[in-house]
């Protein structure tokens, strides 16, 4: 497997105080989509880690050779390292990264104090057909840089290997089943105009999540990669407030109503 990481796609880590934040990128993307958020939170005194999942940030051929358990392992290592030195840890994920942090919250409820899911993917039935599609083609055209704000680059692959897409499908089906076990306080950020993930995913997370403290925040001026878009500052600030409230032992808001269409 290649060891050359695309410049700008590297993992990052910023040491700070006792409040920690795990920032998880999405499928075929890399930590570049989360780095501005990490840098901003670090400036506010938080400890931050942004792991690069195996097969990401190098070549799509590398991604083709990984499984969702490989992705889980790297994200889990980052969580355990962070929770070992921070008394409060909020796990934040974009797209498939949102599914990952929900998975970590279900698997390690003692390590994850709160979850922030940004335009997250937990339900896409058509991925069940990728084994059939692989009989005809190895890859399909990539989807990325769905950003309303000009000049942004999340550093994403231009091809998606169907073998990895099948792994993605298996992973999100696992997470969907786990949602009732996610009892940590939860914030769901949702862009109504998202060209990558259907917004019904946000409604599904809120409805099926097992906790009592859940909140929906609508991102009216952003597309899918909202952490790099016009509403990024809203995500940054609300995550900071959320993390500080959890560290202080203060509960979060009850959920808003989301139209699942």
Residue of 33, 75, 83, 95 marked catalytic: 95
Q: Note if 2 is an active site residue.
A: no
Residue of 222, 224, 229, 231 marked catalytic: 224
Q: Do 17 and 78 contact (CB within 8 A), yes or no? A: no
Q: Note if 181 is an active site residue.
A: no
CA atoms of 68 and 73, how far apart (whole Å): 9
Q: Note if 103 is an active site residue.
A: no
* Residue 45, phi-psi category: left (phi > 0), alpha (psi -120 to 50), beta (remainder): left
Output the CA torsion sign for 33, 95, 3, 107.
positive
Q: Do 31 and 50 contact (CB within 8 A), yes or no? A: yes
Q: Do 255 and 206 contact (CB within 8 A), yes or no? A: yes
For helices 162-178 and 68-83, what crossing angle results, to 10°?
50
Contacts with 203 (C-beta within 8 Å, 6 or more apart), sequence order: 258, 259, 260
CA 148 from chain centre, in angstroms, equals 19
The DSSP bridge partners found for residue 218 are 190
Residue of 194, 202, 222, 229 marked catalytic: 194
Question: How many CB atoms neighbour CB 180 within 10 A?
Answer: 12
Q: Which residues are catalytic?
A: 95, 194, 224
């Amino acid at each position: 497997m290649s060891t050359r990481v695309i410049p700008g796609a590297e993992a990052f880590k910023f040491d700070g105080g006792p409040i920690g934040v795990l920032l998880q990128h999405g499928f075929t993307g890399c930590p570049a989509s989360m780095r501005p958020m990490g840098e901003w939170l670090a400036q506010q005194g938080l400890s931050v880690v942004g792991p690069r999942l195996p097969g990401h940030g190098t070549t799509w051929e590398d991604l083709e050779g990984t499984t969702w358990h490989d992705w889980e392992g790297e994200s889990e290592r980052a969580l355990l390292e962070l929770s070992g030195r921070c008394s409060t840890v909020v796990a934040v994920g974009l797209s498939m990264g949102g599914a990952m942090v929900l998975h970590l919250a279900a698997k390690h409820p003692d390590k994850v104090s709160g979850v922030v899911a940004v335009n997250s993917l937990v339900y896409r039935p058509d991925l069940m057909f990728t084994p059939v599609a692989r009989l005809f083609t190895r890859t399909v055209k990539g989807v990325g840089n769905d950003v309303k704000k000009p000049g942004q680059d999340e550093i994403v692959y231009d091809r998606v290997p169907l073998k990895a897409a099948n792994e993605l499908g298996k992973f999100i089906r696992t997470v969907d089943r786990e949602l009732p076990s996610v009892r940590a306080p939860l914030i769901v950020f949702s862009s109504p105009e998202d060209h990558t993930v259907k917004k019904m995913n946000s409604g599904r997370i809120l409805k099926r999540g097992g906790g009592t403290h859940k909140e929906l925040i609508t991102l009216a001026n952003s597309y899918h990669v909202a952490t790099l878009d016009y509403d990024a500052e809203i995500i940054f600030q609300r995550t900071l407030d959320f993390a500080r409230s959890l560290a202080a032992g203060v509960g979060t808001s009850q959920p808003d109503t989301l139209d699942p269409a």
